[in-house]
Amino acid sequence: MITISLLAGLLALLLYQRMTYPFFWVDLMYYLKLRRYGRTLQARMQQGIITYLDCFIYQARKNPNKPFIIFENQTLTYQDVDRRSNQFANAFRTEGSLKQGDIVALLMFNEPDFICVWLGLCKLGCEVAFLNVNIKAQSLLHCFHSCGARTLVVGADLVRLVEEVLPGLKKDSMAVWVLDHTSPSEDCNSLLDKVELMSGETLSDHPKVDIMSNFLFIFTSGTTGLSKAARVGHLKAILSMAFFQMCGATSEDIIYITLPLYHMSASLLGVGGCIQLGATCVLKKKFSASQFWKDCVKHNVTVVQYIGELCRYLFNHPTVPEERAHSVRLFAGSGLRSDVWKQFVQRFGRIKIREGYGLTETSIGFLNYTEEVGPIGRASYFNKLSMAFELLRYDPQTYEPVRTPSGRCIRAQIGEAGILVAPLTAMNQFLGYAGNQIQSEKKLLRDVFKAGDVYFNTGDLLLHDYRDFLYFRDRIGDTFRWKGENVSTTEVSEVLGLLDFIQEANIYGVTIPGYEGRAGMAAIVLKQDHNLNGTKLYNHLVKSLPAYAWPWFLRMQASLDVTETFKQQKVKLVQEGFDPDVTQDLLYFLDVSKKDYILLTVSLYQDIVSGKFKL
């Protein structure tokens, strides 16, 4: 009797739960999976496996002969990478006198030695700063100063990029190492000839590290001026390594990584996630839409790490036979729009998508683990247990959080977009930007719900719907995303301001149908008695900024409207976009083939919007 009523009660409960809270089980399962990962970590920590490097060494001992990196026609096992990174460590120690605590900048394309150099430096206890390969020579010094690096390691194929500043670096007593057998100039040292003479045996001493200390510097585009070196702690690195496991990948998987390793997503989530599983990674120097499915078939790839742009490039590429003959079962990454996703599975077969959200600076992150199209994650009770966050109501003019008369912030309502903020805790550290106290402080919100509390402000707008799904809405503030990179509006406007004919340049991003992110646009006021010289502007951009930061559109203004605040003006300009029918101002478009800016006519506008003319 008792059992029957118990059963009936349970059934009723299940039915009730299905109706009112349909995602209860997936939420709970995900939470338990996270808990299990936490327990695995704890158990490993008790064995002394604490850091990213420890985790790699653990896998190299456990599965020495398992292939770790496949790159072009090379295959390196875990042991190969372990030994080669020992050789690098020994070379840097004996030839470069590097020691624990030294900061080393790394400027390399994706290749196995990127990982071997990095792990080698970790073995010496050095902190590594990853430089974006699109960097311009003039910005190098700024990067070194901001993170305190005294040594630069540069790939053989990137030497030409730093050539012009080599003498200056030498004068500054920066040590420069080139990954080559011979040195191209007397201002730098060759590295590979020395590495080959070194022993690959394990180093006898193992520097002690504090899990709460800094592991890496990763440059992110800042709100003011040049890029900032975000500190990435050991804890954040080890948490990131859970990525593929949480997405459902296993040690049997073959993971395809085409994203640049100098970004956190490829180096920590991607390669780190692969190490965590003890899986194999097919590394690609650069993403290529025409090679993509061919590579997947050739290497039996099962898991791909993506950003939204990558999926769109694949989708826009003409059909290849391999696109339905592959064994890829999982795409894990971020920035995929739901319109692309639906067409994506129709064309490329049944592939599971795991969409996530994460930042370089802190640990806050979400993962879309349900079968719903569109959201980046869940905001359920269980999620909040493992990662606290809030969405705050904001002022649409200033994008600042709205405060009550008593100075407190207000939570955004269900269905209303809000600024994502996360309280700083031991698990959610923010180590700040190196040498930039002011910028670090700017990312923090204080006295949010009570006096003295501190939150990290992500600057991202998210929406929480009534079913507890989270949707990404926009990135606010003074950066916008284009081609998978952040563009700092102030950096671009400072660069434009150096031209003799420009009085003022106001930079913002505009959306174009069919593209992820925003394309750069500049509202320009010319100096009196000066004309726009498009060729000169183009040449200046080529010298000073990576291509993704170039303004594609110009809007010529007689003066900046002083009745409105700077922020109000920007909001209006963004809304008006680059449609010649909306404004009387002359608009120009960057025609790269002509190396010049050309007048943006109504028909050119139509061609861009309809996708006939591709950017």
Ligand X SMILES: *[C@@H]1O[C@H](CO)[C@@H](O)[C@H](O)[C@H]1NC(C)=O
Residues engaged in binding ligand X (CB under 6 A)? 72-73, 220, 263-264, 299-300, 336, 338, 341, 352-355, 359-361, 368, 371-375, 485-486, 533, 535-536, 539
Which of 90, 146 has the CB closer to ligand X? 146
Taking Cα atoms as reference points, which of 171, 150, 173, 51 lies closest to residue 102?
150
Distances (CA, A) of 287 to 111, 257, 323, 454: 13, 8, 16, 39
Say which residue the tokens 């009660």 belong to: 9
Q: Are strands 454-464 and 444-446 parallel, antiparallel or unpaired?
A: antiparallel
How many helices (H) and strands (E) the chain has is answered by: 22, 28
Give 91 or 353: the residue with its C-beta nearer to ligand X. 353
| Closest separation in Å from C-beta 244 to ligand X | 14
Choice between 51 and 479, CB closer to ligand X: 479
Strand 418-423 relative to strand 390-392: parallel, antiparallel, unpaired? antiparallel
Our CB check for ligand X shows the closer of 189 and 223 to be 223
Please check whether residue 256 is in contact with residue 303, taking contact to mean a CB–CB distance below 8 angstroms.
yes
Of residues 124 and 340, the one with the C-beta less far from ligand X: 340
Residue type, 402: V
Beta-sheet pairing, 67-71 with 280-283: parallel
> 531 to each of 525, 534, 542, 558, how far by Cα in Å?
10, 9, 20, 12
Residue 313 beta carbon to ligand X: minimum distance, rounded to whole angstroms: 17
Cβ atoms of residues 173 and 156 within 8 Å: no
Q: Cβ closer to ligand X: 323 or 361? A: 361
Question: Starting at the edge strand that comes first in sequence, how are the strands of the sheet with 502-510 ordered?
Answer: 502-510, 519-526, 553-557, 587-591, 596-599
Cα torsion 136, 137, 142, 144 to 10°: value is 110
Structure tokens at 458: 């992500």
Q: Which is nearer to ligand X, 1 or 438 (CB)?
A: 438
Q: C-beta of 609: minimal distance to ligand X in Å?
A: 24
What's the CA gap between 263 and 187, in Å, rounded?
28
Tell me whether residue 288 or residue 300 sits nearer to ligand X (CB atom).
300
- Rounded to a whole number of angstroms, the minimum distance from the CB of residue 443 to ligand X is 8
Give the closest residue to 81 by CA, choosing from 199, 179, 200, 194. Answer: 200
Residue 148 beta carbon to ligand X: minimum distance, rounded to whole angstroms: 20
| Residue bearing tokens 């690098």 | 88
Q: Which is nearer to ligand X, 166 or 230 (CB)?
A: 230
Count of C-beta atoms within a 10 Å radius of residue 410? 16
CA dist 152 → 92, 98, 106, 134, 343 (Å): 11, 12, 6, 16, 44
Nearer to ligand X, 80 or 485 (CB): 485
**In the block, which residue shows the tokens 């030994």?**
83
| Least distance to ligand X, CB of residue 30, Å | 12
Min dist CB 531 to ligand X, Å, is 7
Min CB(445)–ligand X separation in Å: 15
The number of CA neighbours under 13 Å toward the Cβ of 521 is 28
Residue 184 is given by DSSP the state S
Distance between CA atoms of residues 470 and 389, nearest Å: 12
Instruction: Give the shortest CB-530-to-ligand X separation in angstroms.
Output: 9
Residue 403 DSSP class:
B
Nearer to ligand X, 41 or 499 (CB): 499
Closest distance to ligand X from the beta carbon of 391 (Å):
17
The CB-of-500 to ligand X minimum distance in angstroms stands at 10
Nearer to ligand X, 95 or 295 (CB): 295
CA dihedral 389, 390, 395, 397 (to 10 degrees): 30
* Shortest CB 367 distance to ligand X, Å: 9
